[in-house]
């Protein structure tokens, strides 16, 4: 009601967004009015079932609000009628349904103060469903340049209540697959959505700053899983290179010593400040043994056409990728 009153006071006509700050005692204060649709406008559309861009165009054409079908449905009157609606009357209240949460997907590194980055995208897979919808400005084989805005995706989750909307968003973000030259905020968003303070809606404008100060990090894969996957990637490259070099020498009429055909590779990795020394032995083209500190695990490995590895380890399957950079593996 205050937003409508404010727009009428300045004679504003069309879609717009009024933002307020709320205090703990329930009082609220005007922050700003944007004479346009916000990028979060699907939140309103999903709870009101109103196509806002369409309504905006119809208003610009001179069609009154009470003649727009979506508006009439939202106010609980016949969509096919043309009777006026008293929008100021308490007898005509809009009937929104459910709850919506929006999540911006950005190319920022939470571990480095949300520093934006750029680069190419090798893979981006997101599947919308009846409760979650999203869009992205890039696709596989695309990229983000250094002068672009760090946001390249937006996801919206609907639920009958706030808890259901949060749950749907968490599931959607966990199923979102982005592989590129840059870090994203996806894992950090999942962490935020699963915090107790967010679950109970006990947050304020300083909430995120406090989490950053406390160095709260996104959930990481199990340490041993990360070490095993890294060792297998490094070893697999070495083993395949040794076979390739041996075959090329035969094509040139040369026969290299048999010991150049590696079956065991020594791997040293530093992960989260700890050094790991491992041996990776190949038992067959798709079977490896990883040895460390006297213990060993067997891992089935299948190479994917896009350069990844499909691993079967400890009763579960994992799809992993590795990129070698100047001073590290990622």
- Supply the DSSP symbol for 324: B
From CA 313, how far away is CA 321, in angstroms rounded?
Answer: 15
Which positions are catalytic? 36
Tokens linked to 286: 């798709």
Say how many C-beta atoms besides its own lie within 10 A of residue 168's C-beta. Answer: 21
Q: Phi then psi for 46, rounded to 5 degrees?
A: -75, -25
- What tokens does 50 get? 């109103």
Q: What is the bridge-based pairing of β-strands 119-125 and 143-144?
A: antiparallel
Of 264, 310, 260, give the one whose Cα is nearest residue 289.
264
N- to C-terminal Cα separation, the chain: 52
The DSSP-derived string for 127-172 is ---SSEEEEES--TT-EE-TTS-SEEEEEEEEESSHHHHHHHHHHH
Q: What is the Cα–Cα distance from 260 to 263, expressed in whole angstroms? A: 9
- E strands of the chain, at which residues? 17-22, 28-34, 99-106, 108-109, 115-116, 119-125, 132-136, 143-144, 151-159, 177-180, 264-271, 274-284, 287-292, 295-303, 309-313, 316-320
What b/e sequence results for 11-37 when a residue is b if at least 16 CB atoms lie within 10 Å of its CB, and e otherwise?
A: eeeebbebeeeeeeeeeeeeeeeeeeb
Nearest C-alpha neighbor of 144 from the set 92, 105, 172, 173: 105
């Amino acid at each position: 009601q205050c937003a409508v009153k404010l727009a009428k006071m300045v004679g504003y006509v069309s879609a717009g967004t009024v933002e307020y700050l709320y205090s703990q005692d329930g009082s609220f204060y005007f922050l700003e009015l944007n004479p346009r649709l916000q990028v979060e406008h699907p939140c309103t559309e999903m709870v009101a079932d109103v196509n806002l861009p369409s309504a905006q165009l119809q208003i610009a054409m001179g069609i009154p609000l009470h003649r727009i079908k979506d508006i009439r449905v939202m106010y609980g009157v016949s969509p096919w009628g043309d009777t006026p609606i008293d929008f100021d009357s308490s007898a005509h209240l809009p009937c929104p349904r459910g709850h919506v949460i929006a999540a911006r997907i950005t190319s920022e590194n939470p571990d480095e103060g949300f520093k934006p980055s750029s680069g190419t995208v090798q893979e981006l897979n997101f599947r919308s469903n009846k409760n979650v919808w999203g869009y992205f400005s890039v696709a596989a084989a695309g990229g983000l340049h250094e002068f672009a805005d760090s946001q390249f995706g937006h996801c919206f989750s609907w639920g009958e209540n706030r808890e259901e909307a949060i749950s749907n968003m968490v599931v959607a973000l966990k199923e979102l697959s982005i592989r590129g030259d840059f870090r994203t905020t996806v894992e950090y968003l999942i962490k935020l959505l699963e915090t107790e303070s967010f679950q109970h809606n006990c947050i304020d404008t300083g909430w995120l700053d406090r989490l950053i100060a406390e160095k709260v990090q996104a959930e990481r894969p199990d340490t041993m899983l990360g070490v095993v996957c890294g060792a297998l990637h490094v070893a697999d490259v070495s083993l395949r290179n040794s076979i390739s070099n041996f075959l090329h020498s035969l094509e040139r009429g040369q026969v290299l010593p048999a010991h150049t055909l590696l079956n065991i590779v020594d791997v040293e990795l530093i992960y989260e400040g700890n050094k790991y020394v491992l041996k990776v032995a190949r038992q067959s083209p798709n079977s490896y043994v990883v040895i460390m500190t006297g213990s060993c695990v067997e891992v089935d490995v299948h190479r994917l056409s896009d350069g990844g590895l499909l691993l079967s380890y400890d009763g579960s399957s994992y799809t992993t990728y590795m990129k070698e950079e100047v001073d590290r593996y990622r």
